[in-house]
């Protein structure tokens, strides 16, 4: 008879919403490999689907500056300030963020119902950002450093690529998400398959934005879009 999975002492255990197996959280809130009945799966409770499973989750393209990194993020507390080194430009930057925002993002990632991809000029340096923001490792829309018009075009291409995959799109960016009057907004939002959020760069993502993202994720499969 298979042995029932027993978590290590002092660890928190949850049921993975992706594969239905048990997952164990580290003390810092990030996730360990998990399994049941003495076996391990390719789903590690970190927002990944098991091999061979069709991934129909929405994709969240996540920018950094003006979205996560904002001088007046609010969220009911003073911002946390952290130094971050960029290997691309070989200098240190200071990021300001709301810990409560990062907690909401971690919870969405752990829930396994959305795939988060960095879509930012920080692509290629995201490991340092993840450490500063206390976020798990996310995928990236691209890997090589780019900036200016090249980055703007790369972000638009990434948004189009998500929809071309047949996936629903969440895009949060303070400069490149198109305004409602723009042709690109109509192109991306046609058919209700995209949630486009352009936060004020001074404040970044706010609780109401995360509420909208959670509602959009929860509406997948409801047949209303």
Note the pLDDT tens digit of each residue in 132-164. Answer: 999 999 999 998 888 899 999 999 999 999 999
**How many Å apart are CA 46 and CA 136, to the nearest integer?**
8
- What's this model's pTM, rounded to 2 decimal places? 0.75
What does DSSP assign to residue 78?
P
**How many Å apart are CA 216 and CA 23, to the nearest integer?**
25
Helix, strand, or coil here: 55? coil
Residues forming beta bridges with residue 197, ordered by sequence position: 172
Name the pLDDT band for 14 (thresholds 50, 70, 90): low
Distances from the Cα of 144 to the Cα of 55, 59, 123, angstroms: 25, 20, 7
Please, which residues have CB within 8 angstroms of residue 58's CB and are 6 or more apart in sequence? 113, 114, 115, 167, 168, 169, 170, 195, 216, 217, 220
Q: Sheet containing 169-172: which strands, arranged edge to edge?
A: 139-140, 115-118, 59-62, 169-172, 194-197
Q: Which has the higher per-residue pLDDT, 50 or 77?
A: 77
Task: Determine the pLDDT at residue 44.
Answer: 38
What does DSSP assign to residue 41?
-
Helices (H), the chain: 99-111, 126-133, 148-164, 183-189, 207-218
Q: Where are the domains of the chain?
A: 1-48, 59-218
Name the pLDDT band for 181 (thresholds 50, 70, 90): confident
Q: Which has the higher per-residue pLDDT, 216 or 14?
A: 216
Does residue 118 register a pLDDT over 50?
A: yes
The mean-pLDDT minimum among 9-23, 72-86, 128-142 falls in 9-23
Highest mean pLDDT: which range of 9-23, 40-54, 108-122: 108-122
Q: Which has the higher per-residue pLDDT, 174 or 43?
A: 174
Return the CATH fold of 59-218. Rossmann fold (3.40.50)
Task: Determine the pLDDT at residue 129.
Answer: 92
Average pLDDT of the chain is: 81
What does DSSP assign to residue 191?
G
């Amino acid at each position: 008879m298979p042995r029932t999975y027993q978590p290590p002492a002092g660890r928190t255990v949850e049921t993975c919403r992706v594969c239905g197996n048990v997952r164990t959280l580290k003390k810092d809130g990030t996730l360990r490999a998990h399994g049941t009945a003495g076996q391990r799966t390719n789903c590690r409770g970190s927002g990944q689907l098991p091999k061979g499973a069709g991934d129909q989750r929405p994709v969240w393209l996540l920018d950094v500056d003006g979205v996560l990194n904002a001088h007046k993020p609010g969220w009911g507390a003073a911002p946390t300030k952290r130094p971050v080194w960029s290997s691309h430009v070989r200098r240190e930057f200071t990021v300001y963020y709301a810990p409560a925002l990062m907690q909401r993002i971690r919870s969405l990632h752990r829930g396994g119902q959305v795939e988060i991809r960095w879509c930012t000029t920080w692509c290629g340096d995201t490991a340092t950002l993840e450490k500063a923001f206390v976020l798990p490792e996310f995928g990236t829309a691209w890997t090589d450093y780019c900036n200016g018009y090249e980055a703007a075009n790369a972000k638009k291409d990434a948004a189009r690529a998500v929809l071309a995959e047949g996936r629903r799109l969440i895009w949060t960016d303070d400069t490149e998400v198109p305004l409602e009057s723009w042709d690109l907004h109509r192109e991306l939002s046609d058919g209700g398959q995209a949630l486009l959020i352009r936060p004020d760069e001074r404040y970044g993502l706010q609780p109401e934005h995360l509420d909208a993202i959670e509602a959009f994720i929860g509406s997948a499969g409801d047949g209303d879009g």
